[in-house]
Chain A
């Protein structure tokens, strides 16, 4: 079968599984109606239908059982209680695993598959819906048309056919039936109009015509009969095999012109030899018309488009600058056009970016399953509440967030949420709650994972960090600094490895994944009330909002997402600490100053901090740093140009961009500047 349609099927499965999950979640929440059940039924049914087309029997079988339960719920008004909802959710998870398996991924766990299937069957039987799950009614209705059979023996059939009036009402048309017959062999059609009444007694609703057809074919009687499949009961039909040689004399004068019909027949034979092997056929023409509402596009093409549009925008600013430099009196007309050019280019860019943007909903739904499984494994009851499902994020971001978020959520259930009794004792509701929230925040996307569990055990974290030599025993750390220790490499809480969250993956891996996406992650916790992870991500991987600054005569860009605020140095705000380090006083607390020019090796001596401008940036550790730069220009969107292939990893630099004058500017990586500088090391 055509692989492109199979791809379509699996893509659609993803959506259908989402719809199932959504419906079941609503049912589980008690927030549903008949249409919810219908929608889930339809989705399961569609998966079954598609799977059938590709011969995915295991998937078909399970979908069928699952569907039967829903069919019962739909028609019989069966009670849908929490227990059943839980079973259905597990069934949906299993269905999703079977889809993965069918796609050639990880095989579904046979134990889970067996258990869920049995439970569904048991339910069906208990509710008297227990049709034994017999798939015989779901085998392809293969009509044996005998096209490929080698049956040279010819037979002659005499068919008497008298349509009832209802046959015409059903949209059936005798002529087409004759054409179909003609494809089976030689036909000779005779119209019997003897029953036609005189004009004055003609009833338009009545059918008066009947035919006699003589068919010479190598097909069996069953095949001939199948032509009339749709009109059984709507006509008088008689098919009899004639003994050779006993031909009746046909009334030639009223016979339907069958010559054109015969032409069709030879054409069909040719066609059927092509189509008799469906596998070979479908791939022959992969570019056949696809569904009209969507267009499948190679991601690479989209990315090329994004890059080109980026160039267009850069090109615009270069053009604008050059025009500005021209020695012309009145530039207003040109500038107006140029402004229009700019907004068009921006619009194209937004549209192109939107192609890559996808809602976080599927990601969140996957997380619902993680929470379910983690809860079941730990004997806890946890509800996942999601907000902002429709928030759109770059496709890559969604794909690469699955693992880090899975880890955070498993941790949250495993270590965060308390057992029901402990929760009750603490005066909380019995069920734990994890809230996933996605939202757009000035050019970036924020994803928050908030649990209402016990909060981080800071004493223990501290103890582990000391044990592992990550911090000195007497380190003076604030609460948030202690929380952030979780992100340190090597902080794998071996003493509490459980089979659930401890798979040797530490939070440092989570942090690295987020950083690799150009984002950052922070943690905050309140003892007894829970923990919040916040992931801030760029909207796209191709452009970002940056603050354009000057450092040692070089123009550079600092990502807006990492900047908390800009501060101008004032007398008394800068304080020396030790021989070299300077601290900036910001509303009563002291923040270490990092001279960007010095850190990047562009200037040997630190400049007078009083002449500098500071960008207050936040670090992963929850601490702050003040980047000292020479001047701040403006804030603008820049196209990210990777430095891969240009140089190796450069400390302090994340990537490059091209500015309006055509010059390249470095995009700084505040995180690594702070890590690079001696001040940061001293602080840690």
Chain B
């Protein structure tokens, strides 16, 4: 069983980058184009870890976290937030919303995979 990653980002470029990097690293990758779709996809695919962008149409990243955590859809599934800012303030806010960790954008492959491993391990 591969570790299943749900990547939510409205940018096709970022989705492709995540997809390619993670598939190559041995993860199974599912993508969604915005928060709304992300939450729906989550319910359908039950991923092992969620990576979400913040700024997205329909539902933003905070909305994703609140929905997944608040509605008890995914109380324990790790959620990593993609953020262009690495300030303590943003980290605090992200964590306050219920995220597990964060990934700085732009990300390099190593830190991305390392971040996922720290929250989801690496099965398969």
Question: Hey, which bits of chain A sit against chain B, CB under 8 A?
Answer: 2, 4-5, 8-9, 11-12, 38-39, 41-42, 45-46, 48-50, 52-53, 55, 137-138, 140-143, 145, 147, 168-173, 175-177, 179-180, 183, 227, 229-230, 233-234, 264, 268, 271-272, 275-276, 278, 281-282, 284-285, 288-294
Contact assessment for B57 and A50 in the assembled complex, using a CB-CB cutoff below 8 Å = no
Which 7 pairs of residues, A with B, have the shortest CB-CB distance?
A141-B104, A230-B101, A52-B106, A171-B100, A50-B13, A9-B13, A171-B78
B52 within 8 A of A: no
Residues of A within 8 A of B59 (CB): none
Contacts A147-B110, A171-B78, A172-B101 known; list 10 others, CB within 8 Å.
A5-B17, A52-B106, A169-B98, A170-B99, A171-B98, A179-B117, A179-B121, A275-B24, A291-B15, A294-B12
The smallest beta-carbon distance between B97 and chain A, in angstroms, is: 10
Contact assessment for B20 and A289 in the assembled complex, using a CB-CB cutoff below 8 Å = yes
Contact assessment for B13 and A8 in the assembled complex, using a CB-CB cutoff below 8 Å = yes
Contact assessment for A281 and B84 in the assembled complex, using a CB-CB cutoff below 8 Å = no
The count of residues in chain B whose C-beta lies closer than 8 Å to any C-beta of chain A is: 52
Residues of A within 8 A of B122 (CB): 179, 264, 268
Contact assessment for B55 and A41 in the assembled complex, using a CB-CB cutoff below 8 Å = yes
Q: What CA separation (Å) do A289 and B31 show in the bound complex?
A: 10
Contact assessment for B11 and A272 in the assembled complex, using a CB-CB cutoff below 8 Å = no
Residues of A within 8 A of B76 (CB): 168, 171, 173
Residues of B within 8 A of A176 (CB): 117-121
Q: What CA separation (Å) do A227 and B12 show in the bound complex?
A: 30
Known: A42-B55, A52-B105, A141-B86. A291 touches B31 (CB 8 A): yes
Q: What CA separation (Å) do A22 and B101 show in the bound complex?
A: 35
Q: What CA separation (Å) do A142 and B114 show in the bound complex?
A: 11
Contact assessment for B106 and A49 in the assembled complex, using a CB-CB cutoff below 8 Å = yes
Q: What CA separation (Å) do A179 and B86 show in the bound complex?
A: 25
Contact assessment for A288 and B24 in the assembled complex, using a CB-CB cutoff below 8 Å = yes
Known: A46-B11, A173-B121. A281 touches B99 (CB 8 A): no
Q: Fill in one digit per residue for B1-35: 1 if any A CB lies within 8 Å of its CB, else 0.
A: 00000000011111111011101110001010100
Q: What CA separation (Å) do A282 and B21 show in the bound complex?
A: 7
Residue of B75, B78, B107 touching A172 (CB-CB under 8 A): B78
Residues of A within 8 A of B14 (CB): 46, 49-50, 53
Q: What CA separation (Å) do A2 and B13 show in the bound complex?
A: 11
Contact assessment for B20 and A140 in the assembled complex, using a CB-CB cutoff below 8 Å = no
The smallest beta-carbon distance between A455 and chain B, in angstroms, is: 44
Residue of B15, B110, B120 touching A145 (CB-CB under 8 A): B110
B102 within 8 A of A: yes
Contact assessment for B55 and A289 in the assembled complex, using a CB-CB cutoff below 8 Å = no
Chain B: CB-nearest residue to A12: B12
The smallest beta-carbon distance between B124 and chain A, in angstroms, is: 10
B79 within 8 A of A: yes
Residue of A179, A276, A291, A293 touching B19 (CB-CB under 8 A): A291
Residues of B within 8 A of A179 (CB): 117, 121-122
The smallest beta-carbon distance between B102 and chain A, in angstroms, is: 7
The smallest beta-carbon distance between B19 and chain A, in angstroms, is: 5
Contact assessment for A141 and B111 in the assembled complex, using a CB-CB cutoff below 8 Å = yes
Contact assessment for B24 and A172 in the assembled complex, using a CB-CB cutoff below 8 Å = no
Residues of B within 8 A of A180 (CB): 114, 117-118
Q: What CA separation (Å) do A50 and B12 show in the bound complex?
A: 9
Known: A49-B84, A171-B76, A172-B119. A290 touches B110 (CB 8 A): no
Contact assessment for A275 and B25 in the assembled complex, using a CB-CB cutoff below 8 Å = yes
Contact assessment for B100 and A172 in the assembled complex, using a CB-CB cutoff below 8 Å = yes
Residues of A within 8 A of B104 (CB): 140-141
Residues of A within 8 A of B105 (CB): 49, 52-53
The smallest beta-carbon distance between B122 and chain A, in angstroms, is: 6
Residue of B20, B86, B87 touching A2 (CB-CB under 8 A): B20
Residues of B within 8 A of A168 (CB): 76
The smallest beta-carbon distance between B14 and chain A, in angstroms, is: 6
Residues of A within 8 A of B25 (CB): 271, 275
The smallest beta-carbon distance between B43 and chain A, in angstroms, is: 17
Q: What CA separation (Å) do A281 and B113 show in the bound complex?
A: 14
Known: A143-B110, A278-B109. A171 touches B16 (CB 8 A): no
Chain B: CB-nearest residue to A181: B118
Residues of A within 8 A of B31 (CB): 291-292
Q: What CA separation (Å) do A45 and B9 show in the bound complex?
A: 12
Could you list 8 examples of A-B contacts with CB < 8 Å? A46-B14, A53-B14, A143-B110, A171-B79, A179-B117, A229-B101, A288-B19, A291-B12
Residue of B11, B19, B75, B95 touching A50 (CB-CB under 8 A): B11
Residues of B within 8 A of A143 (CB): 110-111, 114
